[in-house]
C-alpha cells in the first residue's frame, strides 16, 4: 500500500502520484512521467529540494551541502531521497510545464442543479474516472462553459473522498456561466473540468484554526471540514468558522455546518449577516465577531476565502489588533466581469 503524494507546482497546478513503500518520491514521479527537478539523484546537489506542506516522511541520506539541518527542521526535504510515511503535499520548485506535465482534464455530467436563491446555485457533477481525479480540500477546477469559449473557476465544496463533486456558484448579471445555468443547463449535460488547481488547501492542523468565509467562499471550507470529518480522527485543536454574507438568503449549507459542529470536536461557527434588517442573531461583519480566543494571541492558522474587500478588511484588522497569525492562507474572488467566479486569483501565503 503506497501513499498519495500531491506535487504542487509554482503555476498552481497539482498532480498526484502514488509512492510505493520501497520508492522515493523521485522514483514515483519518474514512473508517472512527471519530471520534477533532479540532478544527482543521490542527496548531494540539492537541486530537488522541496518544501513539505503536510505529512510525515523519512528524509533518507544526504549531505549537508544538499540540505542543512536548519532547512530540514523548517520542513524542506529531498524528493530523490525521501520516502513518505503518510500522504504528503510537496511544493515543487518549478512549473508544471517545466516538469513536462500539465493540468488534467475530465469530462463530468450534471447530476443536479439546485437554486438556493436567485443568485446562488449548487451544482453536483459526476465523473466516470473519479478515481483519477484527486484534489486537496480547498482547491478548485476550471469549468468550461458549454457553448462558449469561456471558463470559470470554482472551488470544490465536496470532500476529496466523496464520489460526487459539488460546487457553489454565485451568479452575476450576464455572466457566461450564469446564462448557461439559468437558460440552457440540464441534468445529463457534459461539462469539461480542468484541474485541480490552487495553493489554498488545508495543511496539517498544528495549532487552532480560524476559517473565514465570505458568501460562496464557504465552498472550499466545506470541503476542508468534510475531509476532517471523514478522516476518522478528531482535530487536535479547536476550529472556528466565521461565515459572513450580505443577506439572509445568501446563507447556504448551514445544516451541513451544524452537522460538522456535532461530529467534529472543537468545531464552532458563527453565521453573520450584514443586512441591518436581518433576523440573524449575529449581524455586521466577520471581524466584528472575532473573539480573543479565536485569535489565540496569533498562534492560529487562518484560512480566508472571500471577496478582495474582505481580505483587505481582515488584514487591516490584524494590523489594528497588533496580531500576526502564524499562517494566513487566503483566496480572493475575481471582481468585475468575472465576479461569478468563485475562485480565480489565488493568494495563499503565510
Ligand atoms: S537531485 Fe541532487 S539532491 Fe536530489
Going along the chain from its start, the domains and CATH numbers come out as 3-91 (3.10.20.30), 104-197 (2.40.30.10), 209-349 (3.40.50.80)
**H helix intervals, 34-83:** 69-74
For 89-143, how does the pLDDT look when each residue is reduced to its tens digit (9 = 90+)?
Answer: 999 999 999 898 888 999 999 999 999 999 999 999 999 999 999 999 999 999 9
Distance CA 176, CA 182 (A): 10
Is there a contact between 125 and 165 (Cβ–Cβ < 8 Å)? yes
pLDDT of residue 1: 80
Q: Which of 3-12, 41-50, 97-106, 260-269 has the lowest mean pLDDT?
A: 97-106
Question: ∠333-335-339 over CA atoms, to 5°?
Answer: 80
Residue 161 in grid coordinates: 473522498
Residue 317 buriedness (CB in 10 A; 0-12 / 13-18 / 19+): middle
Q: Which atom of ligand 1 is nearest to the CA of 44?
A: 3
Report the candidate in 61, 75, 65 with the shortest Cα–Cα distance to residue 24: 61
pLDDT of residue 334: 63
- Residue 104 CA, ligand 1 centroid: distance in Å: 27
Q: How would residue 341 be classed by pLDDT, with cut points 50, 70 and 90? A: low
For 148-191, how does the pLDDT look when each residue is reduced to its tens digit (9 = 90+)?
Answer: 999 999 999 999 999 999 999 999 999 999 999 999 999 999 99
- Residue 42 CA, ligand 1 centroid: distance in Å: 5
Q: Which atom of ligand 1 is nearest to the CA of 39?
A: 1
Amino acid at each position: 500500500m503506497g501513499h498519495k503524494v500531491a506535487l504542487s507546482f509554482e503555476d498552481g497546478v497539482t498532480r498526484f502520484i502514488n509512492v510505493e513503500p520501497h520508492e522515493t518520491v523521485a522514483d514515483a514521479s519518474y514512473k508517472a512521467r512527471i519530471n520534477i527537478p533532479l540532478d544527482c539523484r543521490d542527496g548531494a546537489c540539492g537541486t530537488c529540494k522541496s518544501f513539505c506542506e503536510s505529512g510525515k516522511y523519512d528524509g533518507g541520506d544526504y549531505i549537508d551541502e544538499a540540505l542543512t539541518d536548519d532547512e530540514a527542521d523548517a520542513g524542506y526535504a529531498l524528493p530523490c531521497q525521501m520516502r513518505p510515511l503518510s500522504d504528503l503535499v510537496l511544493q515543487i520548485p518549478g512549473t508544471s510545464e517545466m516538469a513536462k506535465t500539465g493540468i488534467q482534464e475530465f469530462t463530468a455530467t450534471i447530476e443536479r442543479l439546485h437554486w438556493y436563491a436567485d443568485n446562488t446555485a449548487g451544482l453536483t457533477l459526476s465523473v466516470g474516472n473519479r478515481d483519477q481525479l484527486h484534489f486537496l480540500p480547498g482547491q478548485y477546477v476550471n469549468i468550461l462553459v458549454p457553448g462558449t469559449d469561456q471558463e470559470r473557476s470554482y472551488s470544490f465544496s465536496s470532500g476529496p473522498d466523496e464520489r460526487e463533486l459539488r460546487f457553489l456558484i454565485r451568479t452575476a448579471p450576464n455572466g457566461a456561466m450564469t446564462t448557461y445555468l439559468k437558460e440552457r443547463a440540464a441534468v445529463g449535460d457534459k461539462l469539461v473540468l480542468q484541474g485541480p488547481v490552487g495553493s489554498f488547501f488545508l495543511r496539517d492542523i498544528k495549532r487552532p484554526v480560524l476559517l473565514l468565509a465570505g458568501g460562496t467562499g464557504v465552498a472550499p471550507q466545506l470541503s476542508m471540514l468534510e475531509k476532517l470529518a471523514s478522516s476518522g480522527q478528531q482535530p487536535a485543536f479547536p476550529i472556528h468558522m466565521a461565515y459572513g454574507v450580505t443577506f439572509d438568503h445568501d446563507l447556504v449549507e448551514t445544516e451541513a455546518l451544524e452537522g460538522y459542529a456535532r461530529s467534529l470536536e472543537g468545531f464552532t461557527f458563527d453565521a453573520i449577516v450584514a443586512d441591518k434588517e436581518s433576523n440573524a442573531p449575529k449581524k455586521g461583519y466577520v471581524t466584528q465577531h472575532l473573539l480573543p480566543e479565536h485569535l489565540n494571541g496569533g498562534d492560529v492558522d487562518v484560512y480566508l476565502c472571500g471577496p478582495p474587500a474582505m481580505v483587505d478588511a481582515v488584514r487591516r484588522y490584524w494590523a489594528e489588533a497588533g496580531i500576526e497569525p502564524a499562517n494566513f492562507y487566503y483566496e480572493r474572488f475575481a471582481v468585475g466581469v468575472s465576479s461569478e467566479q468563485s475562485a480565480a486569483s489565488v493568494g495563499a501565503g503565510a
